[in-house]
Amino acid sequence: MPAPSSRRLAPLITGTCLILLAGCGSSSDSGSDTDAAQSPAAASVVPVVASTDVYGDMVEQIGGGKVAVTSIISDPDQDPHSYEANTQNQLALSKAKVVIENGGGYDDFIDRMMKTSGGSSAEVINAVKVSGKSAPAGGELNEHVWYDFPTAAKLADRIAAALAKAAPDDAATFTKNAKDFKEKLKPLEQKEAKIKADHGGEAVAITEPVPLYMIEASGLKNATPAAFSEAIEEGDDVSPRTLQDTLALFTGKKVKALVYNEQTSGPQTEKAEQAARAAGIPVVPVTETLPKGKDYLGWMTAEVDALANALAK
């Protein structure tokens, strides 16, 4: 998407980090890691900060027990676009050896917080830059690159390299875990290829661009008026004409499914969902962060399977 809007993970950084604060939370929990820092094992653990638990989970799978990950956004009920960072997050960033952000205007608060954390030397991994993706001619960048499995594979290698730099003695472990992670991505790409073989060219609707990489890799056509999905993502009102055109996709049964971001629903997206259900068109819910009890691979598997099942109806 274009330059960051007020709706994209744009936080209000509340206060500044106090030097005398105790250790930051490890993993996605809010507890202190002070005791861990005093233990002999802590010396070999790489502190990592991820902007969301999507990337935090990737780091944990590749780092195994050799990383302590703080995922700034880790609540599946939280709208990522309205997140407010805090001093605990900033302290974690000041201690991190590796930081992973999405980039592309999605989580600019990471860069802002790092600037105020006092010259952090952490290695920063920007997922959009790793992906190599850019805005199409006359269009906007879709920054939701974690829905693109080739990008996830590239990230695995990049994360392993950054962790190896921070903990050279464990480099072989990180490399092996990245290889295993990439192997587990292959069945997801195969599922997308199967959807493409069975339903290539069929039209679907979306509420936001979040799942577009998955939709495109599955050979499907996004029939949603751009003005609708862009307005929803930006938190703007949809014009009556655009809303009418969007609802007509369902009343006219012009699409096979509605892929719905359930983390940012509102009156206008609810109208789209109601119209789809009334027309007997399957609704496929997706999210931007990990559902409770899921890791990245399990989450993506469930979403690709849900899309395939919806199209088969």
β-pairing verdict for 203-206 and 46-52: unpaired
Which regions in the chain score pLDDT beneath 70? 1-43, 78-83, 118-119
Q: Please give the order of strands across the beta sheet that includes 221-222.
A: 221-222, 203-206, 258-261, 283-286
DSSP 274-293: HHHHHTT--EEEE-SSPPTT
Fold of 34-185: Rossmann fold (3.40.50)
Can you read off the two tokens belonging to residue 114? 């790092």
DSSP for 47-76 reads EEEEEEHHHHHHHHHHHGGGEEEEEEE--T
DSSP string, 93-138: HHH-SEEEE--TTS-THHHHHHHHSSS--PEEEEHHHHHT--PPTT
Cβ atoms of 106 and 143 within 8 Å: the answer is yes
**Residues shown for the chain:** 313
pLDDT of residue 139: 83
Residue from 69, 132, 58, 33 nearest 289 by CA: 58
Q: Which of 17, 267, 61, 275 is nearest to 182 (CA)?
A: 61
Domain 34-185 and domain 187-311, same fold? Reply is yes
CB 142 within 8 A of CB 213: yes
| Cα distances (Å, whole numbers) of residue 43 to 19, 27, 47, 48, 93 | 21, 16, 10, 14, 18
**pLDDT in the model for residue 167:** 97
CB 286 within 8 A of CB 211: yes
Stated pTM of the model: 0.86
What pLDDT is stored for residue 57 in this prediction?
Answer: 98
Q: Which SS3 state, helix, strand or coil, does residue 159 take?
A: helix
Query: Whole-angstrom Cα distance, residue 95 to residue 56?
Result: 16
Q: What is the DSSP code string of 180-238?
A: HHHHHHHHHHHHHHHHHHHHTT-EEEESSSTTHHHHHHTT-EE-S-HHHHHHHHHTPPP
pLDDT tens per residue across span 219-275: 999 999 999 999 998 889 999 999 999 999 999 999 999 999 988 889 999 999 999
Task: Say which residues have a Cβ less than 8 Å from residue 275's Cβ, sequence separation at least 6.
Answer: 247, 250, 251
Residue range 187-311 in CATH 3.40.190.10: no
By three-state DSSP, how is residue 6 classified? coil
Task: Report the candidate in 133, 106, 119 with the shortest Cα–Cα distance to residue 52.
Answer: 106
- Give residue 10's pLDDT: 45
pLDDT computed for residue 238 by the predictor: 95
What's the rounded Cα separation, in Å, for the pair 50 and 61?
13
Q: 55-67: string of b/e by CB count within 10 Å (b at 16+)?
A: bbbbbbbbbeebb
Candidates 51, 60, 246; CA nearest to 163 is 60
Domain ranges of the chain: 34-185, 187-311
